[in-house]
Every structure is written in structure tokens, then in C-alpha cells.
Structure 1
Amino acid sequence: MDARQAVAMTAHEFLAWETAQPGRHEFVNGEVFAMAGGDDRHMTVAGNVYIALRQRLQGSGCSAYLGEVRTWISAANCYFYPDVFVTCSERDRADRLHKQDPLLVVEVLSPSTAAFDRGAKFAAYRLAESLREMVFIDPERRVTDVYRKGDDGLWVLHPFAPTEAVHLASVDLALPPATLWAEVGA
């Protein structure tokens, strides 16, 4: 059996194991990956999006989370730590450790993880029935790609240039460049 077929641990074993670890890890169908820290631009952009979402969602029954809360994508057998995500699920309100019904997921790209985030991770997220928008923000190029799931189940790309306001239809929020890139150095 090659390494791709071997299952290193189950999702249940992963949860028990991770609670004793000093850092965060993502679980992808039996494989465990340590998460690297991001640079200050990465964290600033994620924080800017989170703050705008928290303000927009106040009193709505939906919640935004920033980086430290896991999402469980059961159909893909994956646990991820998105940079920012939103859930409006009653089931998610009841679970303090991980959420299962993301409505919107935001990943701030870094050179070392961009290919995985746009590829295998996005493929796994698309299996979440609740997901309506997936956002990839590139702080180096200052561009944002928003993928929206249509009523027909197809995902459509909506690219935004550095000078355009990014529209998040799932939560009816526009992020003007001054908000998205606030305090992000060159």
C-alpha cells in the first residue's frame, strides 16, 4: 500500500491528538498537516475581513470566526482552519469546538499554500452543502477571487481588482479597498 492509500489516523483520533499539540493542524482524509504561521499582511487582511463581517452580522444570527475555530467537512473527511468564515447554522451555535455548516469561507493566500488552498482544499470545501461563497485573497497582488455557488450547483468566479470593492453576496457585504487593505504594508 502506498502512502496515499494509508490512513494515518481517523478524524476522532485526530481531534484527541490535536488537543495536546502546541500548534494547529489540518486533517485531510487521514493525513495531518502542520499549519505554518502567516506574515503580518496575511493576518491584517484576515483581521480586516473579520472585523467587517462581525459588524455586518451583528444581531443576524450568523457568526464570523477568525483562524482559531475548525470547520469539519464531513463529506471530504477534513478538518480545516479557515482564515475567516461565517456560519448561520443552529447546529454550529451549539458546538464550541468546530463548525460544520460554513456559508462563506475566506482564505488569505500565501506563496507556500496557495496551490493547495485553490486546489484540494477548495475541492473539499465545495462538498459542504451549506457553502455559498469561497474567497481567495492574494495580499501580494492585492487581488481577490470570489467563487459563488449558483442555484444550479455550479461555482462561478467573480474576480476583483485591487481598486474594486469586493462584494460578498452571501452576507450582502461590500468590502471597499480602503477597508480590505487597511494597514497592509507594501
Structure 2
Amino acid sequence: MATHALDPAYERISVEEFLDMDFGDARTELEDGVIYMMAGGSEQHARISGNIFAFLRVRLRGTGCRPYNSDFALQTADFTARMPDVSIYCGNPSAPENARKKLLGDPRVVFEVLSPSTAMKDQRVKLEEYKALAGTTEIVLVDPDAERVRRVHWTPDGVWHDGWLPEGSDLHLPSLDLTIPHDEIFARD
């Protein structure tokens, strides 16, 4: 996790305080108690994350798992909250008792669509944060420019495996027993 040199008078914001703030339509994340504004995404970024979300929403209906888009926060540390492009929670997350919750624990799967301004942070800082979550078993990084997918997954032998799928390959998510076709991820219509 990143450490920031802060003015000694600055008090770090907790995740709970951050989630109670209203930023309007602005996109923000909390890192080590510091609020960061995030630039709006490109058409390409929005299209790909939308494609993934739409595909998963239909395929996961009735399974007890549900995808959420980047409007829903994920706490990765005491003072850090991320807004992944898509995250999948299981165990009936949309049950009535969860309706007002702003955090649901650890997602089973996390997706980040890379952009030129965030790719390094997504693949280094955020990836390590996501891997440290006890309930997360798969992390997917999508490169829109190369139309490639990197899958990082926890295996029963207790090891994280990490690799780019061959060009044009469909994405299999064993933890959900689901495959997302390559053409669905990168669809332009």
C-alpha cells in the first residue's frame, strides 16, 4: 500500500467517513486516508466495463452471486477504498438486509479495465491489494488497446497464478463456473 507524506495537521479519512461523503457525480477513491479524484473514462473503457457487467448480470441471475459496477466501493485496508470497474459478490449480496450497506466484504472476482493513466497502478498497487483480500479468488485486468485479458487466480494449492491469456481467448472464471467470450468483452455494438 502506498504511503503519503501528509501535512501533520491533516487527519486521514477513514473508509466509513469516505463512504458517508457525497461527491456528486465525481469519481473518487480513498488511498491511505487521502481522497483522490479520478478522471472520467474513455468510450472504450466505459464500453468494455459495461460489456462485462451486462454479460455477468444476465448469467449470474439466480446463482446467489451478483456483479456491481464502479459505483460500489471495496475496502482493501483500514484507510483505503477502491472502486473496481466490476466486482462480483456471492452469498446473496442483494438480500433485503444488505440494501443500505455500503460495503459487502470481499468480492469473489474483481475486474479492472486498464487505461493509460491508471494501468501501472492497477497492475501493481491495486492488484496486490486485491490479492490480499481473503475472499477474492480471481482478479481480471483487461487491456482495451491490445484486446487482451490478464487473469490472476488463487488455486487450491494455495498459490496465486498470473498470466495473460492467449490473444483472442475466452475468459474462464472457475470460481463462478462461467466463461465470458472474448468477443463479448470487446464488443462494439
TMscore range, shorter length: 0.7 to 0.9
User: Which stretches of structure 1, 4 residues or more, deviate above 4 A after TM superposition?
Assistant: 4-7, 90-93
Is residue 2:100 matched to residue 1:100? no
Alpha-carbon shift at residue 39 of structure 1 (Å): 0.5
- Provide the C-alpha distance between the structure 2 equivalents of 1:5 and 1:121, rounded to a whole number of angstroms: 25
Aligned to 2:46: 43
- Provide the C-alpha distance between the structure 2 equivalents of 1:23 and 1:72, rounded to a whole number of angstroms: 19
Aligned residues of 2:15 and 2:75 also touching (Cα < 8 A):
no
Alpha-carbon shift at residue 162 of structure 1 (Å): 3.3
Aligned residues of 2:13 and 2:79 also touching (Cα < 8 A):
no
5+ residue gaps in structure 1?
A: none
User: In 2 relative to 1, CA 153–19 (structure 1 residues): closer, same or farther, beyond 3 Å?
Assistant: farther
Alpha-carbon shift at residue 22 of structure 1 (Å): 4.2
- Provide the C-alpha distance between the structure 1 equivalents of 2:145 and 2:104, rounded to a whole number of angstroms: 30
- Provide the C-alpha distance between the structure 1 equivalents of 2:25 and 2:45, rounded to a whole number of angstroms: 21
Two-structure CA RMSD over aligned residues (Å): 2.2
Aligned residues of 1:92 and 1:99 also touching (Cα < 8 A):
no
User: In 2 relative to 1, CA 5–73 (structure 1 residues): closer, same or farther, beyond 3 Å?
Assistant: farther
User: In 2 relative to 1, CA 8–147 (structure 1 residues): closer, same or farther, beyond 3 Å?
Assistant: same
Aligned to 2:13: 9
Aligned to 2:185: 180
- Provide the C-alpha distance between the structure 1 equivalents of 2:6 and 2:154, rounded to a whole number of angstroms: 30
| Alignment equivalent of 1:83, drawn from 78, 82, 85 | 85
* CA deviation map 1:157-179 (0-9, x unaligned): 13213311111222122122221
Query: What TM-score, normalized to structure 2?
Result: 0.85
User: In 2 relative to 1, CA 121–56 (structure 1 residues): closer, same or farther, beyond 3 Å?
Assistant: same
Alignment of 1:10-89 (within 5 A): 10-16=14-20, 18-74=21-77, 77-89=79-91
Is residue 2:145 matched to residue 1:143? no
User: In 2 relative to 1, CA 10–97 (structure 1 residues): closer, same or farther, beyond 3 Å?
Assistant: closer
User: In 2 relative to 1, CA 40–150 (structure 1 residues): closer, same or farther, beyond 3 Å?
Assistant: same
5+ residue gaps in structure 2?
A: none
Code of the residue aligned with 1:82 in structure 2: it is: P
Code of the residue aligned with 1:112 in structure 2: it is: S
Code of the residue aligned with 1:137 in structure 2: it is: V
Aligned residues of 2:19 and 2:102 also touching (Cα < 8 A):
no
| Alignment equivalent of 2:120, drawn from 115, 124, 127 | 115
Secondary structure of the residue aligned to 1:64 is: strand
Code of the residue aligned with 2:50 in structure 1: it is: G
Alpha-carbon shift at residue 36 of structure 1 (Å): 1.3
